[in-house]
Amino acid sequence: MAIYMIERQFAEQLELSPDDARELAEINDDEQVRWLYSFLSADKRRTFCLYEADSSDAILRAAQRAGVPADVIVEVTHTLTPDGASHAIRESVG
């Protein structure tokens, strides 16, 4: 599976309840995508999410079903560290 970074912009501040998270997990399971984690902006109106999936189309389908934006979807393959080293993501994500 590939790793993707998804940028989402929300009209209002994001508030995610445990029930919301369970519903997202069910949709993701159906679409065979896995939410790894997200970063939330200080104003709570933008997220940067890391997902594992077979394709960006699967992520887009899950987002549409969940009623959440997926403004930018980018496949990522490596991380860069401050010392200039590059590491393949697939080796570090299990």
CATH (domain of 39): 3.30.70.3090
Indicate if the pLDDT at residue 85 is higher than 90.
yes
pLDDT in tens, 6-39: 999 998 888 888 998 899 999 999 999 999 999 9
What's the first-to-final CA gap in the chain, in angstroms?
11
How confident is the prediction for the chain on average, in pLDDT? 92
If one counts every other C-beta atom within 10 angstroms of the C-beta of residue 90, the result is: 13
In whole angstroms, give the CA distance from residue 66 to residue 10.
13
Quote the domain boundaries for residue 6. Answer: 2-92
Nearest CA to 68 among 26, 3, 10?
10
Indicate if the pLDDT at residue 87 is higher than 60.
yes
pLDDT of residue 68: 93
Q: Report how many domains make up the chain.
A: 1
pLDDT of residue 93: 43
The mean pLDDT value for 39-68 works out to: 95
CA of 65: how far to CAs of 24, 27, 42, 70, 94, in Å?
A: 9, 7, 26, 11, 26
